[in-house]
């Protein structure tokens, strides 16, 4: 386990809850490296990889890509970085993701940052984003909400039972949300 010394924070929340937006602010203020599992998977599709077609169809359906694919991408990104502080955004999405990551990397997260946001607000944000994502349409969004409830909530429950869950009200303006996030990271300031 060559990465065992790395400091990892998992950043979780429903689709459009503001994970990517808040990660950018944490990077800027606290020098973490941001690894969005979704971005890594989308880059893998673009790269013309063997798995590209499979990943694309899973994302289009709002389904969770097999752990071995995602964990490998995260591991590769961590090993090729010279930083030792990582925000892992949008992963783990189910209990199987969680146990595969722990087993393969030996890493236990410092804590879990969880953005709580209403479906009404998340839907508005995702539909308003306009970045051409194949999953940003109302049918796929409904599926993403359901997968988040069915598969994502058990992960949050697990970390809550370990005292590692940090719940943030994500329903506010991004600057206000960040003021709640900031104190959680002051211990990691450079």
Residue ranges in contact with ligand UP5 by CB under 6 A: 13, 15-21, 36-38, 41, 58-59, 62-65, 70, 90-91, 93, 125-126, 129, 135, 144, 173-174, 177
Structure tokens at 128: 């308003």
Q: Which residue is nearest to ligand UP5 (CB)?
A: 38
Q: Which of 18, 15, 19, 16 is nearest to 151 (CA)?
A: 15
Task: Report the residue number, 108 or 129, with the smaller CB distance to Mg ion.
Answer: 129
- Among the listed residues 3, 20, 61, 72, the single contact to Mg ion using CB under 5 A: 20
DSSP 8-class letter at 32: P
87 close to 184: Cβ distance less than 8 angstroms:
no
State the Cα–Cα distance between residues 38 and 174, nearest whole angstrom: 21
Least distance CB 27 / ligand UP5 (angstroms): 13
DSSP 8-class letter at 148: I
**Site for Mg ion, residues 36 to 95, rule: CB under 5 A:** none
Question: Taking CB within 5 to 8 Å according to partner kind, which of Mg ion, ligand UP5, none is near residue 98?
Answer: none
114 close to 12: Cβ distance less than 8 angstroms:
yes
Segment holding 33, helix H or strand E = strand 33-36
Annotated binding site for a ribonucleoside 5'-phosphate: 42, 63-65, 90-93, 133, 144
Annotated binding site: 16-21, 42, 63-65, 90-93, 97, 129, 133, 144, 172
């Amino acid at each position: 386990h060559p990465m065992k010394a790395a400091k990892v924070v998992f950043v979780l929340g429903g689709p459009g809850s503001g994970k990517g937006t808040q990660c950018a602010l944490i990077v800027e203020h606290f020098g973490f490296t941001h690894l969005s599992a979704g971005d890594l998977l989308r880059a893998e599709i673009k790269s013309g990889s063997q798995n590209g077609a499979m990943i694309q169809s899973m994302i289009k359906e709002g389904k969770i890509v097999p752990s071995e694919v995602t964990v490998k991408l995260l591991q590769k990104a961590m090993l090729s970085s010279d930083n030792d502080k990582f925000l892992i955004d949008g992963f783990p999405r189910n209990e199987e993701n969680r146990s595969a990551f722990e087993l393969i990397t030996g890493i236990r997260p410092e804590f879990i940052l969880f953005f709580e946001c209403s479906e009404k607000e998340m839907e508005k944000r995702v539909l308003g984003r306009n970045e051409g994502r194949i999953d940003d349409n109302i049918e796929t969004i409904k599926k993403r909400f359901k997968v988040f409830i069915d598969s994502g909530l058990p992960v949050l429950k697990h970390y809550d039972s370990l005292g590692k869950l940090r719940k943030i009200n994500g329903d506010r303006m991004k600057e206000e949300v960040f003021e709640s996030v900031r104190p959680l990271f002051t211990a990691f300031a450079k």
